[in-house]
């Protein structure tokens, strides 16, 4: 783990960012305040309806059963589950025990799962018998002492008498290991303490509008932000919990109408896929009053489109390592909300390195990685996290992400920002989503390849049409895409980000045939 400077620890405690409360204590307090709050899972395979109090009792019975089997503070409990009630049961039980929980995205495959289990050595692993392409693989968890499989023997782990309260544990110690989505490399295990996770829960809850409707969580609960939005923020706020285990825009629109639910944002894909669906009508807009966007680049074309529809857009920026670095309030000036990633959130400090890299530190910054070498590379002695993102700060202190250090095309020795090219492509009629990556070029080394997802009823533009569009936008010719590809969708991470390294590989290997070159 990284060394947190003593003056920062003192400051975070003096300012109340770190309260000394464990996640088990936070949950116990919140659940006791509103036990009759609705909890519902919208699932074709495993639906569930009840109250948070009923789920708490399940979690406390599981905690008691695991405690009887020797599991306690500091032990690791991993789970790989869809957005089902059993995921909440496992997470809350782990918190009551003071265990370190490891949520795993349910669509991670064999290689990723084996890596995570090997890295964390859990005492308990909870998974599903089968869900979509996911299937229980007993050989991968042969060394895990306690395994529970939903649909087989999960409830056999329950004790008849529930655990009361929560077991004492150091709030500065590890509470959660969240694995990054691996957009550029193997997953990285990010370690958060009770203090950092608790502050992040309060920070994120405070960013949301107070009058937002009941939220539907569709982001996988195996992902860091999906888990917080599903299992921590509603408990803190005393609001209903609604989960769905499959992202199907038509089904989501139906749930919004039937149950009065809202989708509050996330990666832009989650919002635009609803707007682009044939079942979307103006009657859906009252359930989409707000769109909090983040988790991936947020194109200006998208924020303008949402604003034109009367949707109040606010953006935020963070990562698994430092989840809430900047954000805009819904009351911020419209240009700040639409075109910047917000200003530093309470307790957070940011500065820009000489090359524009964003450095951040704050009370929700993680403890480090499970890999000491990664920790040494990303954090410095003064407590700053080197994000790997490039940005600019305006005169009012609002941050705008302009690129990632590695997200460039080097064409003939000149660097081209993939983000800049994507922004221009997204202003073309019919383009729903654009990803620009480097394609190999025998003469120039690399060239810009544009991979497009189109709206229904639109055709792929020709290269001449793209050139004309870029010329009208006064973009230098060396930045113009030199090949085009069309896809129906992109490979994505749990949070909806496009897995650009997979797109880049597919373009390089010609597994996506260029439509125009």
> Per the structure block, which two tokens stand in for 327?
């954000």
Q: Which stretches of the chain drop beneath a pLDDT of 50?
A: 182-184
Yes or no: say if 305 and 271 are a contact pair by the CB < 8 Å rule. Answer: no
pLDDT at 416: 85
pLDDT at 335: 96
pLDDT at 186: 67
pLDDT at 107: 83
Cα distances from 235 to residues 52, 200, 230, 243, in angstroms, run 8, 14, 9, 14
Strand partners of residue 441: 445
Q: In sequence order, which residues have a C-beta less than 8 Å from that of residue 294 and are 6 or more positions away?
A: 265, 266, 267, 315, 316, 317, 318, 327, 341
Q: Which residues of 59-78 are buried (b: 16+ CB within 10 A; e: fewer)?
A: bbbbbbbbbeeebebebbbb
pLDDT at 515: 65
> Strand locations in 66-197, DSSP E?
76-80, 100-104, 124-128, 130-131, 134-135, 146-150, 174-179, 189-193
pLDDT at 400: 94
pLDDT at 442: 74
We find that the CATH architecture of domain 18-203 is 3-Layer(aba) Sandwich (3.40)
Nearest Cα residue to 402 out of 255, 473, 298, 481? 298
pLDDT tens, position by position, 355-379: 999 999 999 999 999 999 999 999 9
Instruction: Assess whether the region 209-354+391-404 and the region 408-508 belong to the same CATH fold.
Output: no
DSSP, residue by residue, 336-386: HHHHS--EEPTT-EEEE-TTSEEEEE-TT---EESSHHHHHHHB-TTS-EE
How deeply is 211 buried, as exposed, middle or buried, from its count of CB atoms within 10 A (0-12, 13-18, 19+)? exposed
pLDDT at 199: 97
Q: Which residues of 37-52 are buried (b: 16+ CB within 10 A; e: fewer)?
A: bebbbbbeebebeebb
Q: What are the structural domain ranges in the chain? A: 18-203, 209-354+391-404, 408-508
Yes or no: say if 257 and 284 are a contact pair by the CB < 8 Å rule. Answer: yes
pLDDT at 516: 58
pLDDT at 183: 43
Instruction: Compute the Cα dihedral for 291, 296, 297, 299 and give only its sign.
Output: negative
Strand partners of residue 349: 361
Yes or no: say if 324 and 345 are a contact pair by the CB < 8 Å rule. Answer: yes
Question: What CATH homologous superfamily does 408-508 map to?
Answer: ANL, C-terminal domain (3.30.300.30)
Q: In sequence order, which residues have a C-beta less than 8 Å from that of residue 330 and are 6 or more positions away?
A: 209, 290, 312, 314, 337
pLDDT at 181: 61
> Per the structure block, which two tokens stand in for 141?
């968890």
> Per the structure block, which two tokens stand in for 222?
């195996």
Cα distances from 240 to residues 41, 67, 483, in angstroms, run 11, 29, 48
Q: Which CATH class is domain 209-354+391-404?
A: alpha beta
Phi, psi of 237, deg, nearest 5: -90, -10
Residue 325 neighbours by CB distance under 10 Å: 30
Mean predicted lDDT score pLDDT of the chain: 93
pLDDT at 493: 86
């Amino acid at each position: 783990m990284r060394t947190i400077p003593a003056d920062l620890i003192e400051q975070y405690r003096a300012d109340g960012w770190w309260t000394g409360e464990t996640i088990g204590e936070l949950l116990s307090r919140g659940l006791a305040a509103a036990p009759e709050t609705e909890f519902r899972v919208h699932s074709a395979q495993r639906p569930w309806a009840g109250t948070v109090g009923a789920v708490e009792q399940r979690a406390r019975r599981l905690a008691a059963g695991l405690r009887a089997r020797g599991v306690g503070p500091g032990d690791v409990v991993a789970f790989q589950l869809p957005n089902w009630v059993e995921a909440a049961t496992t997470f809350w039980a782990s918190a009551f025990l003071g265990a370190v929980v490891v949520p795993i995205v349910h669509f991670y495959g064999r290689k990723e799962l084996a890596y995570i289990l090997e890295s964390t050595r859990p005492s308990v692993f909870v998974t599903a018998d089968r869900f979509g392409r996911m299937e229980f693989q007993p050989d991968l968890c042969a060394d895990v002492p306690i395994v529970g499989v939903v649909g087989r023997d999960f409830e056999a782990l329950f004790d008849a008498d529930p655990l009361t309260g929560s077991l004492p544990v150091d709030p500065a110690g590890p509470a959660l290991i969240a694995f990054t989505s691996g957009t550029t490399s193997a997953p990285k295990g990010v370690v958060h303490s009770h203090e950092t996770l608790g502050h992040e829960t309060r920070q994120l809850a405070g960013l949301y509008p107070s009058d937002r409707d009941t939220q539907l969580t569709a982001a996988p609960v195996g992902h860091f932000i999906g888990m917080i939005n599903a299992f921590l923020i509603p408990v803190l706020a005393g609001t209903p919990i609604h989960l769905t285990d499959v992202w199907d825009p038509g089904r989501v629109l139906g749930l919004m109408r039937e149950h009065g639910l809202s989708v509050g944002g996330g990666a832009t894909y989650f919002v635009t896929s609803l707007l682009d669906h044939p079942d979307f009508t103006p009657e859906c807009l009252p359930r989409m009053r707000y769109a909090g966007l983040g988790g991936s680049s947020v194109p200006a074309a998208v924020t303008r489109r949402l604003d034109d529809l009367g949707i109040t857009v606010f953006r935020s920026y963070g990562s698994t390592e430092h989840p809430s670095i900047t954000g805009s309030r819904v009351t911020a000036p419209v240009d700040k909300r639409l075109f910047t990633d917000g200003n530093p959130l309470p307790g957070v400090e940011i500065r820009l390195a000489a090359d524009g890299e964003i450095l951040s530190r704050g009370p929700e910054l993680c403890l480090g990685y499970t890999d000491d070498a990664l920790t040494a590379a990303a954090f410095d002695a003064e407590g700053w996290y080197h994000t790997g993102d490039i940005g600019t700060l305006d005169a009012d202190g609002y941050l705008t992400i302009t690129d990632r250090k590695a997200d460039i095309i080097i064409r003939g020795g000149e660097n081209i920002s993939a983000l800049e090219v994507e922004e221009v492509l997204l202003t073309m009629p019919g383009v729903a989503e654009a990803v620009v990556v480097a394609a190999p070029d025998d003469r120039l080394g690399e060239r810009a390849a544009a991979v497009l997802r189109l709206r229904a009823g639109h055709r792929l533009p020709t290269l001449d049409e793209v050139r004309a569009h870029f010329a009208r936008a006064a973009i230098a010719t060396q930045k113009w895409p030199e090949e085009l590809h069309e896809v129906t969708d992109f490979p994505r991470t749990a949070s909806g980000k496009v897995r650009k390294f997979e797109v880049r590989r597919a373009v390089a290997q010609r597994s996506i045939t260029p439509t125009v070159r």
